[in-house]
Amino acid sequence: MPASWIAAFIERAGGSMKGKISVGTLPEGLEPIYVHRQSRTLSEILVELLRVSNNYIANQVFLEIGAHRLGGPVSLEKSLQVANEMLAAHGLAATIQLEEGSGISRNNRFTARGLAKVLELFAPNADLLRGHDGGMNKTGTMEGVRTLAGYADTSHHGQVRFVISTSSDGELRFRLLRAIQSEL
């Protein structure tokens, strides 16, 4: 992971930095100042992650999947290898391309059909997406791109999955969702 990403994640999480960040192997014999031991289970972390959409934590979980499967230390390359194997196993390799795990890279790409397939696979856990407004969806916003994906309750077809991606204003995706909910 480039040092600039680490700095961006620290600042985005509300922290600040002084000095230089370097990436590399820790010299032998150097004692760590602090070692954090996570007190929550992965499932507890994921539930909270889905509730608040924290890109930093998403990337940390992403980095851990590579080390968990392929051994430490964590690395972006290992995590991308594991993620790409998982995507391929579900027939999604051609429809979803990842560069990193936070979701903030413009080089992360997906097709609507690919993301709809992810929602199909996630359906048994759809309630984990339920937000304060009762909706079961997630938004994505970058300059020139506005997305909304999840599950909508409809009067004629029950629960349906949807993926909306537009370059238009941010409100259009919510108007489209209301149309889906009322017309289907």
Instruction: Per-residue pLDDT tens, the chain, 184 aa: give them.
Output: 566 777 777 888 888 878 887 767 778 888 877 777 778 888 888 888 888 888 889 999 999 999 999 998 889 999 999 999 999 999 999 999 999 999 889 999 999 999 999 999 999 999 888 876 778 998 888 889 999 999 998 888 889 999 999 998 878 999 999 898 887 5
Distance of alpha carbon 47 from alpha carbon 57, whole angstroms: 12
Give the burial class of 184: count Cβ atoms within 10 A of its Cβ; 0-12 exposed, 13-18 middle, 19 or more buried. Answer: middle
- Look up the pTM and report it: 0.76
Alpha helices (runs of H) in 39-169, residue ranges in sequence order = 42-52, 55-70, 76-89, 112-122
